[in-house]
């Protein structure tokens, strides 16, 4: 979905300063599927009787698994509807697969997630769903895990599109399925080895078992991990749905690189790194236009015509121009392409600075993250780790010139070192590497007239400190979802799944007023008494100031730049560096009608100053 979301975003006007970020996100989204292929994931679920035995809370491992798979399906529909998902049961009485293996039932072959598939999974949730499953498929312990893996491998082979990432998630609470059958155990190990050789990742999502789940009995030789994963099997069994979902989310999507570049330390020494987007703004997808008669997607094509003759223009018939000093500079297509070339892509070392030199106001856009990449230069990981350890030890940042791709202007960036962090279960929560912080140019700085600092008494400051201390809380970015997006997707989900009404999304951004008032007590009223005069009424209307006796005074326009400075900008072709409010005020001062767009304001001022 991300590729067409970015495509349709391009049909809408964008702010000039956001164009570069949009281009990068659009290029990343297109590259995901066009060049790298699609992600594919098969859920291989143990359907033996042990999975249907409830725990102390009355929850069965099978129900946890179905809820987890259902959640992945619904999230994939929103985030990655081009990915392929499938569901396979083993340990059933009935069988359904291309090789006719016994006790292996392919419920859903690899295909895009859709409403019908979600509804099919939904009927097996809860107590009624488990009863329906028993009646429909039954149970049989005489299964072969090796044949189940073979059936999954056949599903991957039957797909005709290019696959970039093939993964099987195995859900079970049986730690030694073939304890009494060495032949089946050997076959399972052989099939697991075959999967590893063909690039298929096999992950174990082991669930709670009475007496504990011992991985060393069987599955340590079965499970294989991806190249970009360091931790492999999760050491703790999943007792709760939240823990199971956390493990699945960590592995369901392959970590995609935005780019693979060289980090040049000098002319003779370089290492290769992968660039990642740890955060990317989530957009509400724009509606797709359909032909009302057939509901087919309408393709939009752009054509250019001569304004005078009405004849169709080919791309070779058009040129581009830029106004510079009241003169139109016409450029050929080759010249515009040449102007966009700023050297080869890569990170070029400039020097080192203490981390204390980086200020919060230097942040101008979301950061990126780099991690060593061995595919281009062998030994990159060793050199990268040495650089990272030294920067962490000396609290230094790396300053670089960064060109992400061809035809992208270079940026001045700071590489901020980050140490690896793991939680109590030894699961990585922060990877080791460098954050790429985009630094502003001198052209990006603005002159702002601030009001004079209003002094506060020490008593007022102390009272505000008490208020701040009372309202402090631990902030986590993953605890707050965008309420507009969440409600939008819930509405779509309700329509697609034929629900009576959509589930209402909780707006976690709303302040908890009652809890805040309980914590603060009388502190707010005490602070008001210290700051505001006794007769102050915040709900009253503002009193208008008396005008002079000679009539109402006209509002004077505030112009931050003189006429000579404007003329200098016009001559140098740098008028575009001024903000729109400044240009509007200048146009109003000289009685010009420049319209609302920045280019129209610049044209009006350029024409006026060239004549006066």
d(CA 75, CA 282): 13
Cβ atoms of 175 and 191 within 8 Å: the answer is: no
Residue 74: CB atoms within 10 A of its CB come to 20
d(CA 488, CA 530): 45
Cβ atoms of 172 and 206 within 8 Å: the answer is: yes
* Of 206, 252, 201, 235, residue with least CA distance to 79: 252
546: burial class by Cβ within 10 Å (0-12, 13-18, 19+)? exposed
* Of 40, 335, 326, 33, residue with least CA distance to 165: 40
d(CA 324, CA 601): 15
Sign of CA dihedral 550, 553, 559, 565: negative
| Catalytic one of 34, 281, 528, 558 | 34
Residue 230: CB atoms within 10 A of its CB come to 11
Cβ atoms of 208 and 239 within 8 Å: the answer is: yes
d(CA 151, CA 97): 7
Kind plus residue range of the DSSP H or E element containing 22:
helix 19-34
Phi, psi of 224 (to 5 degrees): -125, 160
Question: Rounded to the nearest 5 degrees, what angle is found at the Cα of 125, between the Cα atoms of 121 and 126?
Answer: 170
d(CA 439, CA 365): 9
d(CA 192, CA 379): 30
Beta bridge partners of 175: none
d(CA 44, CA 63): 14
Three-state secondary-structure class, residue 394: helix
Cβ atoms of 527 and 536 within 8 Å: the answer is: no
Q: Is 34 a catalytic residue?
A: yes
d(CA 286, CA 2): 11
d(CA 382, CA 390): 13
Question: Rounded to the nearest 5 degrees, what angle is found at the Cα of 203, between the Cα atoms of 231 and 430?
Answer: 35
d(CA 315, CA 270): 41
Give the HSE-up count for residue 546: Cα atoms under 13 Å, Cβ half-sphere. 3
d(CA 78, CA 112): 12
Give exposure, 510-533, as e/b (b: 16+ Cβ within 10 Å). eeeeeeeeeebeebeeebeeeeee
Q: Which residues are catalytic?
A: 34
């Amino acid at each position: 979905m991300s590729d067409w979301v970015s495509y349709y975003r391009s049909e809408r006007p964008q702010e000039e300063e956001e164009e570069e970020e949009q281009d990068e996100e659009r290029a990343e989204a297109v590259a995901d599927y066009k060049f790298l292929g699609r992600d594919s994931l098969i859920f291989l679920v143990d359907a033996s009787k042990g999975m249907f035995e409830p725990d102390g809370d009355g929850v069965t491992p099978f129900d946890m698994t179905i809820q987890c798979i259902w959640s992945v399906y619904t999230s994939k529909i929103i985030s990655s509807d081009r990915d392929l998902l499938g569901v396979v049961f083993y340990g059933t009485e009935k069988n359904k697969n291309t090789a006719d293996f016994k006790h292996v039932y392919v419920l859903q072959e690899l295909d895009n997630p859709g409403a019908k598939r979600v509804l099919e999974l939904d009927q097996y949730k809860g107590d009624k769903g488990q009863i329906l499953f028993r009646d429909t498929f039954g149970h049989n312990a005489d299964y072969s895990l090796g044949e189940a893996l073979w059936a999954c491998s056949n599903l991957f082979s039957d797909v005709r599109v290019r696959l970039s990432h093939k993964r099987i998630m195995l859900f079970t609470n049986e730690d030694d399925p073939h304890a009494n059958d060495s032949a089946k155990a050997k076959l399972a190990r052989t099939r697991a080895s075959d999967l590893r050789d063909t690039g298929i990742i096999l992950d174990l999502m082991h669930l709670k078992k009475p007496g504990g789940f011992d991985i060393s009995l069987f599955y340590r030789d079965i499970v294989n991990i991806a190249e970009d994963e360091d931790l492999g099997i999760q050491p703790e069994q999943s007792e709760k749905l939240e823990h199971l979902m956390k493990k699945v989310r960590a592995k369901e999507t392959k970590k995609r690189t935005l780019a693979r570049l060289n980090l040049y330390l000098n002319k003779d020494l370089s290492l290769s790194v992968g660039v990642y987007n740890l955060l990317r703004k989530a957009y509400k997808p724009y509606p797709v236009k359909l032909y009302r008669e057939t509901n087919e997607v309408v393709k939009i094509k752009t054509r250019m015509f001569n304004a005078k003759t009405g004849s169709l223009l080919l791309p070779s018939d058009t040129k581009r121009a830029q106004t510079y000093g009241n003169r139109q500079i016409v450029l050929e297509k080759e010249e515009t392409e040449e102007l966009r070339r700023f050297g080869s892509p890569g990170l070029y070392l400039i020097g080192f600075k203490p981390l204390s030199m980086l200020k919060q106001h230097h942040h101008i856009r979301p950061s990126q993250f780099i991690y060593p990449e061995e595919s281009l230069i062998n030994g990159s990981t060793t050199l990268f780790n040495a650089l990272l350890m030294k920067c962490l030890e000396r609290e230094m940042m790396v300053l670089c010139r960064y060109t992400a791709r061809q035809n992208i202007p270079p940026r001045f960036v700071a590489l901020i070192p980050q140490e690896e962090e793991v939680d109590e279960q030894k699961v990585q929560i922060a990877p080791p590497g460098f954050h790429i912080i985009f630094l502003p140019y001198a052209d990006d700085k603005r002159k702002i007239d601030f009001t004079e600092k209003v002094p506060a008494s020490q008593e007022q400051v102390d009272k505000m400190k008490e208020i701040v201390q009372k309202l402090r809380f631990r902030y986590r970015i993953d605890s707050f979802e965008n309420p507009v997006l969440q409600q939008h997707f819930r509405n779509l989900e309700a329509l697609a799944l034929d629900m009576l009404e959509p589930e209402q999304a909780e707006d976690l951004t709303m302040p908890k007023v009652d809890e805040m008032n309980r914590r603060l007590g009388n502190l707010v009223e005490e602070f008001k008494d210290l700051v505001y005069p006794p007769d102050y009424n915040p709900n009253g209307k503002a009193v208008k100031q008396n005008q002079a006796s000679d009539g109402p005074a006209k509002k004077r326009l505030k112009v931050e730049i003189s006429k000579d400075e404007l003329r200098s900008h016009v001559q140098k072709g740098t008028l575009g560096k001024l903000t729109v409010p400044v240009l509007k005020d200048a146009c109003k001062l000289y009685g010009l009608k420049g319209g609302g767009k920045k280019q129209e304001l610049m044209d009006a001022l350029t024409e006026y100053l060239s004549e006066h």
